[in-house]
Structures are given as C-alpha cells and as structure tokens.
Structure 1
Amino acid sequence: MGFGNKWINWISFCISNVKFSLIINGSPKGFFQSQKGLRQGDPMSLFLFILAMEGLNFMIRRARENGWIRGFCEAEVTQIRHLRSILTIFEGVSRLHVNWQKSCLYPVNQVPNMQILTENLGCQVVSLPTKYLGMPLGAKNKKLEVWNEILQRSEMKLTRWKSQYLSLGSILTLIKSVMDGQPTYMTILFLLPVSIGKKINKARRVFLWQGNKEKKGYNLVKWDKVALSKEQGGLGIKKLRAHNESLLKK
C-alpha cells in the first residue's frame, strides 16, 4: 500500500514488544512477552484492521478493472471463483482467515444456480431478512418488529435502574447518556416510525418523573419543554425525530 520502511518498523515494534503482567492479590507479578501480536481491545487493532481491509478493497477494485468480476460480484460461477481466489490470496497475505462455515450467500429474487455457486464458494445459503452488524437486512424498516430489540433493551435497562434509589440528576444522566443513544445506530440509516418514537419518549418521560417510585408520578413540565436545550430552559434531552432527520441528511 506504499508505506515506508520506517513506518512499518514502527508498527512492527509496537506489536512485537508488547509485555503483559498479571495482578495477583492486588499487585502485579512479573512480565511476559506477547506471542500473538496486539492484545484484544488494543486501540491500534482497529486502525490496522482498516488498513488490511483497504488492501482487500484494492484487490477487488483491480479485479473489476480487469473484468474478472462485475459490480461487487454477480451470480456467475466464473465471478464466484475469482472472488474465492481473491479472498484466498488475501488470507495468505494478511493472515486473516475467512470462516467459510459461517459465511453465507443471500439470494435476492430468483437465482437458478444457487447450489453451484455455494459449492464453488464453500459456504451455505440462507434467506433474507437477517442481521449484519446489528442492522436488519432485507426487512422493511417501517415494520415494528425491526425496532422491538431497541424497545426491549430500553425496558431491560429501566428494570435494573428502577430497582435502585436514584436522584433526579442521576436519572437525567442515564437518560441522556444511555437511553438517548439506544436508537442512534438504527436511526443513522432508517426513519424512526412515529409509534416507536412515542413509546421511547413515554419510557423516558415516565422514568424521569417517576423514577423508582411505585406510585404514578406527575409530569411537572411538558415534554416539549424538557427536550429543549439548557440555554433555552430545558434539560437537554434529545428530540428523537430531529436527531433522526439530522443523521439521515449526513
């Protein structure tokens, strides 16, 4: 990818000179050398992974330029074989191995030679809808079932929080730092249904004014006022619809 020897030596030094220590009875005991490169969760691993994927991206672009594959890869045996060759070469260069048993082909509409394609690629055939990196694929985003997981996660957190004695400031912090962020991942790509937005707002509103009280609480201030910024006299809680629309316009 054009990196100089000095930069490569820097990265190699960071990977090959890592040492670890175990905490025994509250104090570290000795050090030992790493044998597998970066430790799990190391911040550098993300950047190295991106660089490795850029190499794979370059290989796929070169294959398209040479006419070996079209688009990403069409449903043709020759193109599937070229894709398999690219991934095999990438495995040898990067030492990142593809788990073919967990890899899947998702047919869109009718694909007559699906069984032959899977035999050449060495994976299995599954159908849509499914999930990839937490995102629903092949499902209509307006279906309420797509958003049920977000509602369930919010309900689980509320159940745990309501068992604790929290001040109004603590409740507000949990709403702004956790509950406001729950739907963000989905709302980057999908428009939040009105009914789901109302359910999330109701959960936030009830938790804010009722907290862990068993009796019904009273809304001391209108929600539209609460959702204003602090400069405007509100509490700075996110307006889900406005936040969703701003994310979709990026």
Structure 2
Amino acid sequence: MRIARSSILNHFSFTDEVLLFCHGDYQSSYLMLQGMLIFSKTSGLYPNKNKSEIYCSGLKETDLQRLLDAFGFSKSILPFKYLGMPINSKRFSAKDFQILVDKITTRIRIWSSRHLSFTGRVVLINSFILAIHSYWSQIIIIPKRVIKDITMICRAFWWTGKAT
C-alpha cells in the first residue's frame, strides 16, 4: 500500500473505542479505511458497522457518499462524545461547557441531602470536583467564565452545604 505524502494517520484508542483521523480528502480517507481493513483481516478484529460512524469536515459530499458506499459505515455529525468529552471541529464556547457545570451541580445536590461536616465537604470537593475539572482541562481549554461558575458552586457547597 502506498500512502500519499499529505495523509497522516493518527488515532486515539481506549478499550473498545478507536478514533482515526486523516487529511480531509478522498484519497487519504480511502487509504486509511483500506489500512483498517488490512488490519481487520490480519487480526480478526472487525469494526461493528452498526456502531461505526464517519465524521467529516471539508470532504465533498460525492466523495463522502463513495466512502459510505464502499465501507458500509453511517455518517454522523459533530459534535459527539468520546469518553464523556465533547469532540467538535470548532472552538468551544462557554455554553458548550454547561454539561460540565450540570454534572458538578447534580453531584453536589446529591451530597447536599446528607449531613456532611465541613471537612467532609472539603474532601469531596478536592477528590471529585477537582478531578472532573482536571480531566476536562487536560483535553480542552475551559473558558474563565466556566471556571468562575465552578468555583462559585464549590464555594457555596463548602460554606453552606448546598449547590447555590
């Protein structure tokens, strides 16, 4: 197999989920999918066509349809979630981080129903809330406004034991 100079193959892999990236033209996409088929034939590991999707940005509609016909995958649109993280081709706005703020608020509401000591609340904030924040921060740059919102929620829980 000859790979064109402009196509670079990258991947993210975790358990049974794999993301493959290539240059946004037909030849690169076709070569990447051909490489995946060669891997499948040699390893015996085949992608589930019912669960596999193609996300394209900048590929002509005719070329995309040729890929879909050739490999049997379905087309999907951005954004999507991978390991709980939203994946998008555009820059995220503060509104896109509402998922993170809601996740933290929901967790604190559950904890608010319990009678926790001041120290217990500190431990929960440091172990859980900051772990979620750190996980997201390693992958995406979180806007200052969202960080301020998370800080306000944590402070309210720390001092009052409630989410607000």
TM-score normalized with structure 1 length: 0.52
- Return the match for 2:129 from 179, 185, 204: 179
8 Å Cα contact 2:78/2:87 also seen in 1: no
Gap runs ≥5 in structure 1: 1-62, 217-250
Structure 1 segments of 4+ aligned residues over 6 angstroms from their partners: none
Partner of residue 114, structure 2:
164
> 1:88-119: per-residue Cα shift (whole Å, max 9, x none)?
33223333321122222222135142211211
| Pair 1:109-2:44 in alignment | no
Alpha-carbon distance in structure 2 between the residues aligned to 1:171 and 1:165:
10
Q: Secondary structure at the match of 1:135?
A: strand
Gap runs ≥5 in structure 2: 10-21
| Pair 1:71-2:22 in alignment | no
Larger Rg: 1
Partner of residue 225, structure 1:
none
Summarize the alignment of residues 234-245 of structure 1 with structure 2, pairs less than 5 Å apart.
none
> 1:202-248: per-residue Cα shift (whole Å, max 9, x none)?
11111111115xxx9xxxxxxxxxxxxxxxxxxxxxxxxxxxxxxxx
How far does residue 79 in structure 1 lie from its aligned partner after superposition? 4.9
Alpha-carbon distance in structure 2 between the residues aligned to 1:125 and 1:98:
15
8 Å Cα contact 2:3/2:31 also seen in 1: no
Over the matched positions of the two proteins, sequence identity in percent amounts to 22
CA RMSD of aligned residues (A): 2.4
Alpha-carbon distance in structure 1 between the residues aligned to 2:87 and 2:31:
28
Alpha-carbon distance in structure 2 between the residues aligned to 1:184 and 1:67:
38
> 1:30-87: per-residue Cα shift (whole Å, max 9, x none)?
xxxxxxxxxxxxxxxxxxxxxxxxxxxxxxxxx5xx33683334532x5545433322
Alpha-carbon distance in structure 1 between the residues aligned to 2:159 and 2:3:
62
1 or 2 for the larger relative contact order (CA 8 Å, sep ≥6)? 2
Please identify, of 174-183 and 88-97, the stretch whose mean Cα deviation from structure 2 is larger: 88-97
| Pair 1:210-2:146 in alignment | no
Number of residues paired by the alignment? 147
Partner of residue 89, structure 2:
138
Aligned amino acid, residue 67 of structure 1: I
Summarize the alignment of residues 35-50 of structure 1 with structure 2, pairs less than 5 Å apart.
none
8 Å Cα contact 1:130/1:138 also seen in 2: no
Residue 126 and residue 90 in structure 1: after superposition, are their counterparts in 2 closer, same or farther (change >3 A)?
A: same
8 Å Cα contact 1:80/1:121 also seen in 2: no
Aligned amino acid, residue 90 of structure 1: F
> 1:165-209: per-residue Cα shift (whole Å, max 9, x none)?
111111110010001112222211332212111111111111111
TM-score normalized with structure 2 length: 0.76
Residue 195 and residue 159 in structure 1: after superposition, are their counterparts in 2 closer, same or farther (change >3 A)?
A: same
Alpha-carbon distance in structure 2 between the residues aligned to 1:145 and 1:136:
14
